[in-house]
Amino acid sequence: MWHPPDGIVLISDPRVTAIPVHDNGEPLVEVRGRLRLDDRMADEEGAYGRLRDGLLDRLERAEKELPAGYHLLIVEGHRSIANQRQTYDDYRAELAQRFPSMTPGELDAAASRYVSPVEVAPHTAGAAVDLTLCAADGTEYDMGTAINETPEQSAGGCYTAASGISGDARGNRKILASALESAGLVNYPTEWWHWSYGDRYWALMTGSPHALYGPA
């Protein structure tokens, strides 16, 4: 039987899905013009470049905490429900083909390491951001894997605490984490690049009685 990695609470965990949502009504706002925005995940509606106002405020605070020469590079913020569902279904189907002995429940859990089920997806709430670090000229720092590499593609290197990455990459992940944690964000530990604020996963990890943001 498949089990999640030791010590990692997956976003599909019943403790996450049980968290109530009391949306505070904050608008989605544009990242562009406030922080560096990469276009690799651009969608026709431009959703990728929008975040809840409170989250973007915290990212600006985190940017100021970075060492000289380091900057946040935002890759993807808000994601439509349709886009989220398609991404989840595609990855789950890929896993089913690769691991035919997995039960439906195991497939659901394994898929949630990389992409959230729609019901709890923080990207659809504008509450999650995929990001990395770059220099002033836009050159990205070594983080050990590319953003959005699956656990299979990266041999587990996408996990935030992965051991099989270089010392430089591990140091850069610590720099990113220090700035974002100081601004109140939480990491999804299967993806070093995925951080959130105000969603159900954040609520569980911080002990908040409810999430601040629902689907936007």
- Distance, in Å, from the CA atom of 74 to the CA atom of 48, rounded to the nearest integer, reads 9
In the chain, % of residues over pLDDT 90? 75
Is the pLDDT at 22 greater than 70, yes or no? yes
Per the model's pLDDT, the better-predicted residue between 82 and 70 turns out to be 70
pLDDT per residue over 179-210, tens digit each?
A: 999 999 999 999 999 999 999 999 999 999 99
- Distance, in Å, from the CA atom of 58 to the CA atom of 64, rounded to the nearest integer, reads 10
Region 108-116: what's the mean pLDDT? 78
Q: State residue 42 phi and psi, 5-degree precision.
A: -60, 140
Point out the least confidently predicted range of 80-84, 153-157, 191-195, 211-215.
80-84
pLDDT per residue over 43-76, tens digit each?
A: 999 999 999 999 999 999 999 999 999 999 999 9
- Contact between 214 and 203 (Cβ < 8 Å): no
- Distance, in Å, from the CA atom of 95 to the CA atom of 102, rounded to the nearest integer, reads 9
The pLDDT of residue 4 is 62
Those residues with Cβ within 8 angstroms of residue 177's Cβ, 6 or more apart along the chain or in another chain: 160, 187
- Contact between 98 and 164 (Cβ < 8 Å): no
Specify the pairing of strand 71-76 against strand 36-37. parallel
